[in-house]
Homo-oligomer: A and B are copies of this chain.
């Protein structure tokens, strides 16, 4: 059996019996954990949780409402309140009442937030480049297209 959610060293090497699709599954999961570890690290270095980092990334070119954000992230509305509260207190983003719906609140990045997000994106690129650059330019394009096709099938 293959290693699933880990690449930690095994005590004993196990036999190679996984089906092909398990190999892709494991690779996908492991790659995700590596990517998430990088995102987590970048967040931690800037006092942002993974969720807050993600919110900032979303706000980069959008101005959603609280409920829309919550739905997109798969979180409860009440969870968003605290999340946005803390980021707002730090000056990264702000709230404003919606012009169309008196009940709704829109969320958007402040100038400081925008500057931070640009910095974080560059940092992300830097930290993942060594991994991506193991592949040559043509392979990178190939990988991107394969991933993109999977993602686009997800009601993209």
Contacts and interface: CB of A to CB of B under 8 A. Distances in A.
Interface of A: 1, 3-8, 10-12, 14, 20-25, 27-37, 39-40, 53-54, 57-58, 60-64, 68, 72, 74, 121, 124-125, 128-132, 134-135, 137, 139-144, 146-151, 153-154, 156
Contacts of A68: 8
Contacts of A35: 28-29, 32
B61 A1 contact: yes
Contacts of A132: 21, 24-25, 28, 150
A6 B53 CA distance: 11
Q: How many copies does the complex hold?
A: 2
Contact of A31 (B8, B23, B32, B62): B32
Contact of A53 (B5, B58, B143): B5
Given A31-B32, A34-B154, A1 B143 contact: no
Contacts of A61: 1, 3, 10, 12, 14
Nearest to A39: B29
A128 to B, nearest CB: 6
